[in-house]
């Protein structure tokens, strides 16, 4: 074939790929910046400060910090220096969590993620139907996590504060990131992004566990990808993992479904049915004690976590997003593609869900009013972070 024909075609293909990669990277930065700016805009005014200037300053610092790291530090740092810095930064976060737990009274914070779990376990200990207890914030707020998430919090509840689970899942996530990339520089990049995320520090101060759950899900997917656990050979392992993750929070199902949808479609019908059967049996097993808690009044159907986790938004938004998710998942070509699309989809899903809340509100509200929960946007952050360090730190 004439080289004058072949070379322009190859060059055009490389240009298009580079353009797509560049857009993907900027999309990840956009997810992280937007999420954190939302937090700045919502919570900075509570200190009597207008949010415009802090948002601009944060954006400049985050973009500048990312540029300086990528341009001057990333390729020049040795693994030994990156290891020392990573350990110091991780230790700093752990010390901050400890200070927050010892110095901040959680009852003074109008965020009830911690009490939803702590009060659930209190009720379970006392023999009271745990999904019927309300949190410390309001008598109309009830525990929304699924059973397995409460059980994972049990050791930390026993030592006095479920906030310690943030240390546990931070370490789990960092260990999985290192084992996936085999690079301390990649781990350092992850930690630097966390340090530049006001949303993460908000999670730590308020003892919120939404991001911890997202870190758990992302960690499991990193392990699956690293160990090459596939649907055709170890479908039952994936079914167990999917069933367990689905038993923590409803939001955990989204990234798992996006990751496994195409492999499940390509499996044979026996594997497909076996996967669904095992996953469903695990979920039912965790819910069964509460479904049959009271077989006279069937209290589970009067108050259960699905009521809390499916109340926001509108049905048509959910339907559209499900169709979009199926299209995205079916086109999955690589783990990097999955990370980029999952972060953007999770962010978009939470945005449209909150817009649905605004639309249904009888009074004019904004995204930063109390009726909207912007903490859900943090669920997209782990995938954006891994995507950002992924192109420059490919796993061995």
One DSSP character per residue, 301-321 reads GTS-HHHHHS-SS-HHHHHHH
- Biggest alpha carbon distance in the chain? 81
Structure tokens at 105: 């009274």
Let me know if residue 54 belongs to a domain: yes
Mean pLDDT, to the nearest integer, of 276-289? Answer: 97
The residue behind tokens 């809340």 is: 357
pLDDT digit string, tens, across residues 116-156: 999 999 999 999 999 999 998 888 889 999 999 999 999 99
Mean pLDDT, to the nearest integer, of 225-234? Answer: 93
Cβ partners under 8 Å of residue 165, min gap 6 = 152, 153, 156, 209, 212
pLDDT digit string, tens, across residues 199-223: 999 999 999 999 999 999 999 999 9
Per-residue confidence band for 310, with pLDDT thresholds at 50, 70 and 90: low
Rounded to 10°, the helix 231-246/253-266 angle is 160
Mean pLDDT, to the nearest integer, of 376-384? Answer: 95
The residue behind tokens 């965790």 is: 286
Model confidence at 6: pLDDT above 60:
no
pLDDT at 393: 45
pLDDT digit string, tens, across residues 47-106: 888 888 999 999 998 888 888 877 777 777 889 999 999 999 999 999 999 999 999 999
Let me know if residue 394 belongs to a domain: no
Residue 69 parent element (H or E): none
For 226-243, give one letter per residue: b (16+ CB within 10 A) or e: beeeebeeebeebbbbbb
Question: What gap in Å lies between CA 305 and CA 154, rounded to an integer?
Answer: 18
Q: Which of helix, strand or coil describes residue 76?
A: coil
> Among the listed ranges 18-32, 204-218, 223-237, which one has the minimum average pLDDT value?
18-32
Q: Which of helix, strand or coil describes residue 110?
A: coil
Let me know if residue 89 belongs to a domain: yes
Question: What gap in Å lies between CA 91 and CA 324, rounded to an integer?
Answer: 40
Q: Which of helix, strand or coil describes residue 340?
A: helix
pLDDT digit string, tens, across residues 249-274: 999 999 999 999 999 999 999 999 99
Length of the chain: 396
pLDDT at 283: 97
Q: How many domains does the chain have?
A: 1
Question: What gap in Å lies between CA 396 and CA 393, rounded to an integer?
Answer: 9
Residue range(s) defining the domain that contains residue 248: 3-389
Q: Which of helix, strand or coil describes residue 296?
A: coil
Q: 0.85 cut: is pTM over it? A: yes
Question: What gap in Å lies between CA 211 and CA 214, rounded to an integer?
Answer: 5
Let me know if residue 396 belongs to a domain: no
Let me know if residue 243 belongs to a domain: yes
Let me know if residue 115 belongs to a domain: yes
Cβ partners under 8 Å of residue 41, min gap 6 = 51, 55, 368
Task: Give residue 100's region: left, alpha or beta (phi > 0; psi -120 to 50).
Answer: alpha
Let me know if residue 260 belongs to a domain: yes
């Amino acid at each position: 074939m004439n080289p004058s024909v072949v070379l322009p075609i190859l060059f055009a293909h490389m240009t298009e790929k580079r353009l797509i990669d560049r857009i993907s990277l900027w999309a990840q930065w956009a997810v992280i910046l937007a999420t954190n700016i939302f937090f700045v805009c919502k919570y900075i005014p509570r200190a009597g400060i207008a949010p415009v200037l802090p948002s601009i300053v944060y954006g400049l610092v985050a973009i500048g910090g990312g540029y300086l790291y990528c341009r001057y530090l990333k390729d020049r740092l040795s693994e030994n220096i990156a290891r020392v810095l990573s350990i110091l930064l991780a230790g700093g976060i752990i010390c901050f969590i400890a200070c927050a737990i010892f110095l901040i009274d959680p009852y003074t914070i109008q965020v009830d993620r911690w009490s939803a779990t702590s009060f659930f376990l209190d009720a379970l200990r006392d023999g009271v139907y745990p999904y019927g207890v309300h949190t410390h914030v309001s008598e109309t707020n009830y525990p929304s996590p699924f059973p397995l998430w409460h059980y994972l919090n049990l050791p930390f509840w026993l030592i006095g504060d479920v906030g310690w689970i943030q240390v546990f899942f931070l370490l789990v996530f960092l260990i999985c990131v290192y084992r996936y990339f085999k690079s301390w520089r990649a781990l350092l990049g992850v930690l630097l992004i966390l340090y530049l995320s006001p949303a993460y520090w908000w999670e730590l101060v308020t003892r919120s566990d939404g991001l911890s759950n997202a870190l758990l899900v992302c960690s499991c997917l990193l392990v699956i990808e690293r160990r090459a656990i596939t649907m055709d050979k170890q479908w039952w392992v994936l079914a167990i993992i999917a069933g367990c993750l689905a038993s923590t929070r409803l939001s955990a199902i989204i990234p798992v479904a996006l990751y496994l949808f195409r492999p499940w479609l390509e499996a044979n019908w026996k594997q497909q049915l076996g996967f669904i059967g095992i996953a469903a049996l695990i979920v039912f097993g965790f819910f069964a004690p509460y479904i049959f808690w009271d077989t006279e009044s069937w209290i589970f159907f009067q108050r259960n976590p699905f009521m809390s986790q499916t109340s926001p938004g509108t049905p048509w938004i959910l339907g559209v997003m499900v169709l979009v998710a199926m299209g995205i998942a079916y086109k999955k070509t690589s783990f990097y593609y999955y990370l980029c699309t999952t972060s953007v989809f999770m962010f978009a899903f939470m945005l449209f869900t909150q817009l649905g809340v605004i639309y249904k509100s009888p009074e004019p509200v904004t995204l930063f009013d109390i009726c909207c929960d912007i903490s859900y946007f943090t669920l997209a952050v782990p995938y954006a972070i891994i995507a950002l360090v992924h192109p420059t730190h490919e796993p061995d």
